[in-house]
Structure 1
Amino acid sequence: MSDAVTMVAVPGTLCSPTVFDLLDHELAGRPRVDRYSWLTEPGPWDIPAISGRIARHIERTHGGPVLVCGHSTGGAITLHLAATHPSVVRGLILIDTGAQMRGHGDVEAIIARVRDDWGEDLRAAVLDRSFHTPPEPEVRAELLRWAATVDRQAVLDVLTSQRDLDLTADLPRITQPAMVIHGRHDRARDPDHGRDLATALPNAEFRLLDTGHTPVHEDPAAVADAVRTLLTWL
């Protein structure tokens, strides 16, 4: 395993990049974690545009291909990045995500609430359904403070883009090694979404963890083990 490997971490919608802190601690620099806060950047906020910005960030900052770890919406962004900018992606860690949103329990309701009822109650509901093991109160409060700074239009645009995007046809040409991780108790996406994703990718392994939608925070040791396994395939 090379000490020079970097992993760009791409969080989900309304999810602070600090959600990767415990995973970063577990990995202890092997690989280094570069948290990418796409939701706080200037728009546009559709997935292809965000993917393009991450590709440019990797080229400018790292000068070569990296691991990319995408959680939830960040996983869809990561898949698009690997399909359209394969030269910057060395391997993928895909967490509680999928190539499309059919069967995603509440996306239409969330989009409607973002459009019509944006506020603290909505942000707290999205946060709370993302964890099977609730974060510590001070961590939850910090995550909510961060979410309150996000532009409502950014959230609306990216969720609408993700709802309308289907990357299924692109999966066979994403040949980089991939680790697909899913929480058994995920209330947003059924674990079968993860299994289907791993089956469709040419070089992927599926791991089911005893977590909710956010295993990078709920079980960082297990996610770190999956990352280390992926590194041995490079």
Structure 2
Amino acid sequence: MPVVGIPGTLCAPEIFDRLAAALPGGSDTVDAVDWLTAPGPWRIEDVAASVSRRIEALGEPVTLLGHSTGGCVAATVAATRPDLVSHLLLANTGAHMRGHGDVDRILTTITEDWGPSLHAAVLDRSFATPLPSGLRTRLLAYAARVPPAAVLEVLTSQRDLDLTPKLASITCPATVLHGSHDRARSVADARYLAEQLPDCELTVVATGHTPFWEDVPSTVAALERLRAR
């Protein structure tokens, strides 16, 4: 069964590599979507439509992994195209952005001060412990290639979107995976999201905003339980 991963805002597809290497089949297991450097538009609904077309081309339903903003995209795909998603894993995301305290500040900074300082701030807050220098350099280089218009458009659309009314229609097995040391999203956000999904398990791990990189064994175990349901 194919696995498709949707990374969060300013997050390179490489972020799924450690997880892919740990899954049966090795490094090619996760088809990671580089949606931020693809042509726009970049609203959540537009990115979800693009991901849906990508899954259609695979010819069978997939296990869909969504991280942060990518989780919002993944949930939108599962709600609008249930025929394409057999299992859904949402990592450190939420049904809406109420209480996500710094989104308006980030939007202002994108407009007024886009550049390396913003990229580094967003990247570094996504992990509970510092990244290896080589990986951090590569992820920052990726962020530098992302059009600021893409980040501004997707985060504005995410800020204004509440997925709660759509979540009850997602009937495939789902897991909400959440790092308890996340500086952007709270465990309460994860719990609320899990409660709105009809068939969902909540798994909390001791990581930051990116549990599938920070705690690969727990993510693999969560995926195995999910795909067994």
Structure 2-normalised TM-score?
A: 0.97
Match of 1:66? 62
> 1:32: how far off?
2.4
Q: Which residue of 2 aligns with 1:117?
A: 113
Alpha-carbon distance, 1:29 to partner: 2.2
Q: Percent identity?
A: 50
The 2-side partners of 1:29 and 1:112 are apart by: 43
AA aligned opposite 2:10? L
Q: Give the drift of 1:24.
A: 0.5
CA distance in structure 2 between the aligned counterparts of 1:79 and 1:34, rounded to whole angstroms = 17
Cα pair 2:107 2:156 within 8 Å, conserved:
yes
Q: Could you list the per-position Cα deviations for residues 45-80 of structure 1 after superposition, in whole angstroms to 9, with x for gaps in the alignment?
A: 0010110011011111x1021010000000000011
* From 188, 194, 199, the counterpart of 2:195: 199
Equivalence map 1:4-83=2 (5 Å): 5-29=1-25, 32-60=29-57, 62-83=58-79
Separation in 2, partners of 1:163, 1:76: 11
Structure 2, unaligned stretches of length 5 or more? none
Aligned partners of 1:103, 1:228: CA distance in 2, in Å?
A: 31
Equivalent position SS for 1:57: helix
SS of residue in 2 equivalent to 1:98: coil
Matches within 5 A, 1:126-165: 126-165=122-161
Misfit runs of 4+, over 2 Å: 28-32
Tell me the SS of whatever aligns to 2:142: helix
| Count of paired positions | 228
Residue type at the aligned position of 1:11: P
Which residue number corresponds to residue 171 of structure 1?
167
Give 5+ residue unaligned stretches, structure 1: none
- The 2-side partners of 1:54 and 1:138 are apart by 29
Q: Once the two structures are superposed, what CA deviation does each residue of 1:124-179 show, in whole Å capped at 9, x if it has no partner? A: 00000100022111111110011100001000000001001111011111111001
Q: One-letter code of the match for 1:64?
A: E
